[in-house]
């Protein structure tokens, strides 16, 4: 099914076709082994990482023991993020470090306003997007579910806009489905629902609303059984995408019999 | 003995140390003059010296001097 869907309905972002519409994050996993198994179960081909100081255990054991090499071994493209940045200046520097370290010009741009909400700071986000596009980056802009800002980011050259469903790590699902639909209806670049996903039905809903992909981490990495949850999301994204393409029935106020009354025996 | 800031902590600096030497010391992997690891893998590391990125091709040619602020970063779980 996955293969059929990929052939008839490819997902292309920044000019690159991907075989899965599920983008994974890696935060919150207790071990690298468990994380690897969950990523494989999810079927993802694009996964985010954060950039931090090299510490013992980051991969000092040589080839094959660090996160970057885990992703390479599983043919998963790496999407470095700018998590923890509060200003455009910090975000641009982090993106440059990531490009140098990981040899990719893709970046998940995350510029947050404060540590309590982790909500994007729209002013810094717009500034950073413009700077990074000018420096040749493919910017995946993590943004509020604001249709106006989403359109601005696209106009500035973002490769994808990634509105949140709810604040990072909350698992509250999609708080404003109408805004997500509005963003999708006006977008000329892929829309990726990012953050707030709690369980499989949230991801299916995102796809039914017309999103091109879903990005999540916590919902898998902190689930009781991450591998099983990863597989659930794999199917949810495929199911939601198929439903969105299939054309759902309109909602009705009154019941509509699916069995004809005509020919009913007199009893 | 001179001192530098290495990933936010004071560290002693031996004369003649290059950025490549610091990367090798921190990662425990031998670094070729190209900036690639000698074990043939991917290093996944970037270096900022005094808030400027030092491209890996320049690591061997870039001397570290007293009071330099060096950050060596890599990919970790996140996002």
Query: What is the rounded average pLDDT for all residues in chain A?
Result: 92
What is the torsional sign of CA A117, A119, A122, A125? positive
Query: What average pLDDT does the segment B50-74 reach?
Result: 93
Asked whether residue A4 carries a pLDDT value surpassing 60, the answer given is no
Query: What average pLDDT does the segment A222-238 reach?
Result: 96
Nearest CA in chain A to B48: A97
For residue A100, give the nearest of B55, B76, B79 by CB distance. Answer: B55
DSSP character string of A113-131: S-TTT--B-HHHHHHHHHH
**Could you tell me what percent of chain B has a pLDDT over 90?**
62
CA distances from A149 to A4, A29, A192 (A): 35, 32, 15
Kindly state the tokens that stand for A60. 């000092």
Nearest to A233 by CA among A43, A79, A10, A75: A43
Question: A239: distance to nearest CA of chain B, Å?
Answer: 24
Asked whether residue A63 carries a pLDDT value surpassing 60, the answer given is no
Catalytic site residue A108?
yes
Using the beta-carbon criterion (under 8 Å), do B76 and A98 form an inter-chain contact? Answer: no
ipTM: 0.91
Q: Does B58 touch chain A (CB under 8 A)?
A: no
Asked whether residue A138 carries a pLDDT value surpassing 60, the answer given is yes
What digits encode the pLDDT tens for the residues A21-41?
Answer: 999 999 888 888 889 999 999
Query: What average pLDDT does the segment A160-173 reach?
Result: 96
For residue A97, give the nearest of B7, B39, B48 by CB distance. Answer: B48
The rounded distance, in Å, linking the Cα atoms of A98 and A107 is 8
């Amino acid at each position: 099914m996955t293969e059929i869907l990929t052939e008839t309905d490819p997902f292309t972002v920044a000019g690159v076709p991907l075989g899965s519409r599920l983008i994974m994050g890696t935060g919150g996993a207790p071990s690298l082994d468990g994380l690897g198994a969950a990523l494989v179960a999810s079927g993802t081909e694009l996964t985010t990482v954060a950039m931090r100081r090299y510490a013992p255990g980051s991969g000092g054991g040589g080839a094959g023991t660090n996160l970057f090499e885990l992703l390479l071994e599983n043919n998963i493209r790496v999407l470095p993020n700018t998590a923890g940045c509060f200003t455009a200046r910090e975000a641009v520097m982090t993106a440059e470090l990531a490009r140098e370290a990981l040899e990719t010009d893709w970046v998940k741009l995350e510029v947050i306003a404060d540590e309590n909400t982790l909500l994007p700071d729209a002013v810094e986000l717009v500034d950073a997007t413009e700077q990074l596009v000018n420096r040749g980056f493919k910017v995946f802009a993590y943004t509020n579910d604001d249709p106006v800002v989403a359109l601005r980011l696209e106009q500035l050259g973002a490769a994808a806009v990634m509105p949140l469903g709810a604040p990072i790590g909350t698992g509250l699902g999609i708080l404003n489905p109408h805004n997500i639909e509005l963003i999708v209806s006006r977008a000329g670049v892929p829309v990726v629902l990012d953050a707030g996903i709690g369980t499989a039905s949230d991801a299916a809903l995102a796809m039914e609303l017309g999103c091109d992909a879903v990005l999540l981490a916590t919902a898998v990495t902190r689930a009781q059984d991450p591998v099983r949850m990863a597989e659930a999301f794999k199917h949810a994204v495929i199911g939601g995408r198929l439903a969105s393409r299939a054309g759902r029935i309109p909602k009705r106020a009154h019941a509509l019999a699916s069995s004809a009354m005509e020919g009913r025996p007199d009893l | 003995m001179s001192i530098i800031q290495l990933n936010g902590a004071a560290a002693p600096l031996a004369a003649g140390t290059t950025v490549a030497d610091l990367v090798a010391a921190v990662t425990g992997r031998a670094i070729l003059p190209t900036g690639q690891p000698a074990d043939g893998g991917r290093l996944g590391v970037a270096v900022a010296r005094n808030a400027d990125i030092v491209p890996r091709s320049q690591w061997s040619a870039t001397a570290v001097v007293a009071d330099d602020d060096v950050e060596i970063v890599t990919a970790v779980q996140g996002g």
